[in-house]
Structure 1
Amino acid sequence: MIGEDEGWCFFVMPIVVKAKKDESSDGVIRRFKKKVMTEDVVNEVRKREFHRTDAMKRKERNNAVRRKQFVER
């Protein structure tokens, strides 16, 4: 499904897992979790949870470089 919200375009792709014949609920949940992990849904949600400005991204990159240089010493 494709939607638009105030000029932003977003895609909603549901993860569908259908229970197989004689499959336990634990098996269905296990397959669902595996599908979520392979499609990297959790990381995408975390990444989009808060809006980060360019300055914030730059600051995070600089801090990561500083940490890496400090560890190398």
Structure 2
Amino acid sequence: MVQVLVRDNNVDQALKALKKKMQREGVFREMKLRRNFEKPSEKKAREQAEAVRRARKLERKRLEREGF
């Protein structure tokens, strides 16, 4: 459960913090995905593409860290 404290009646700052937490947890992304039905074959293809993207990103970061 996401919880944000409002300090000094500053609702704008609390709302900004809430949005940031929700973004980090992937709530907005999940809401977007659930808006329409996704066929199982489309879901599988999307998840595989995401896995490839993650692997490439990790490899790039690893190479960058090692100085290549």
- TM-score for both structures, normalised by structure 1: 0.47
- TM-score for both structures, normalised by structure 2: 0.49
Say which structure is richer in helix.
Answer: 2
Bigger radius of gyration = 1
Say which structure is richer in strand.
Answer: 1
